[in-house]
Structure 1
Amino acid sequence: MFDTMTSTKIIGAFCGALLVFLLAKWGAEILYATGGGHGGEQHAAYVIDTGEGDAHAAEEAEEGPSFDELLAAADVAKGAKVFGKCKACHKIEDGVHSTGPSLFGVVNRAIGGTDFGGYSGKLAQAGETWDAATLNAFLTNPKKATPGTSMSFAGLKKEKDRANLIAYLDGLDG
């Protein structure tokens, strides 16, 4: 029937063909990828900006309450929970600094107005004092508000969370 050498050649040829098939399949998937991604998400190869997104975003922004209204109705207890995202780097005790400066009395304090020596970036771009509006802008996106900052926090996307946090911080010194 078959000797050992012939059967080894047949098995080798089969394995080689399988390997070529798998490499071709892998290469085709890379060249002709149509989406997928993690969790089955589909991604478009390109996006055409029609300008509609900006109009819808502006309409949505106008529909909700203003930041001042959110701040007036802020929940200090919820702000304390939001502060949980900050406490790895900031302390709320007067004069006690950590990776970042103490946030005790931060509302309406001069920007850079503590004895904390590790300020980074261009804090002056944020304004003169940490009033509610300045804090709101800063907490939305710290790296955009003060380019060059070493603060790695991405920001708070929800305006209500920012209002609750500012109300909580404002109540610390009183």
Structure 2
Amino acid sequence: MFDTMTITKVVGGLCGALLVYLMGAWAAESIYHTGPSGHGDHAQQAYVIEVEGGDDHGGAEAEEGPSFEDLLASADVGKGARVFGKCKACHKLEDGANATGPHLYGIVGRAVDSVDGFGYSGALEQVADVWTPENLDGFLENPKGYAPGTKMSFSGLKKAEDRANLIAYLDSLDD
């Protein structure tokens, strides 16, 4: 069935295909990564648009919305209950019922790292003493950025309205 000549042709074909692949990869690397002059000048911006009153940040400033205090004053507790759906996989609302995260009953105004029976990372104590609405807002926006080293793996709530609604909902749970 297979003789020496057939095996030699198959091995030669595979080696030839490998050679063509490697030469193509080498050619693509030289074309796309070093540029035509060989100095990597492809990364330079070709055209800069001048604007009046340009800033050093490379873009227009973000449009300012209402302040967090205004958002919290007009927060909707019902919408906050829906936003809590993202939290309930790791947190419970019952007093003393810890899950992956500590319980959130009475969190607004509670001391940071104060739930008995939960092993905190210690990163939160370095950024806040009490869970004020402002501290909760900063933490809920970006937990890892607010308290580097925290065990909370949630990426955060980007919308300020969602954070205000959630904080109002959590504040409404306790008397």
Q: Between 70-79 and 101-110, report the one with greater CA deviation.
A: 70-79
Preserved contact between residue 71 and residue 167 of structure 1 (Cα < 8 Å): yes
Report how many aligned residue pairs link the two structures. 157
For the residues of structure 2 that align with 1:56 and 1:138, how far apart are their CA atoms? 26
1:40 — aligned with what?
none
- C-alpha deviation, 1:144, in angstroms: 2.5
Residue 83 (1) aligns with residue 84 (2): yes
For the residues of structure 2 that align with 1:124 and 1:81, how far apart are their CA atoms? 29
> Which protein is richer in helix relative to its size?
1
Using the size of structure 1 for normalisation, the TM-score is 0.73
Shift in CA distance, 32/106, structure 1 to aligned 2, threshold 3 Å = farther
Q: Between 15-24 and 76-85, report the one with greater CA deviation.
A: 15-24
Shift in CA distance, 94/14, structure 1 to aligned 2, threshold 3 Å = closer
For the residues of structure 1 that align with 2:9 and 2:113, how far apart are their CA atoms? 77
- C-alpha deviation, 1:6, in angstroms: 6.5
- C-alpha deviation, 1:132, in angstroms: 0.6
Preserved contact between residue 98 and residue 118 of structure 2 (Cα < 8 Å): no
Residue 23 (1) aligns with residue 22 (2): yes
Alignment partner for residue 56 of structure 1, among 52, 56, 60?
60
For the residues of structure 2 that align with 1:68 and 1:152, how far apart are their CA atoms? 27
For the residues of structure 1 that align with 2:151 and 2:71, how far apart are their CA atoms? 29
The residue identity in structure 1 corresponding to 2:109 is N
For the residues of structure 1 that align with 2:124 and 2:87, how far apart are their CA atoms? 18
- C-alpha deviation, 1:91, in angstroms: 0.3
Q: Between 19-28 and 105-114, report the one with greater CA deviation.
A: 19-28
Using the size of structure 2 for normalisation, the TM-score is 0.73
Q: Deviations over 1:20-67 (max 9, x none)?
A: 112222344455557xxxxxxxxx9588xx8334x624x42x2x1111
Q: Secondary structure at the match of 1:171?
A: helix
- C-alpha deviation, 1:77, in angstroms: 2.0
Which consecutive residues of structure 1, in runs of 5 or more, have no partner in the other structure? 35-43
Structure 2 counterparts to residues 67-82 of structure 1, below 5 A: 67-82=68-83
Which consecutive residues of structure 2, in runs of 5 or more, have no partner in the other structure? 34-41, 46-54
- C-alpha deviation, 1:156, in angstroms: 1.4
Residue identity over aligned pairs, in percent, reads 49
Preserved contact between residue 121 and residue 146 of structure 1 (Cα < 8 Å): no
Q: Between 160-169 and 137-146, report the one with greater CA deviation.
A: 137-146
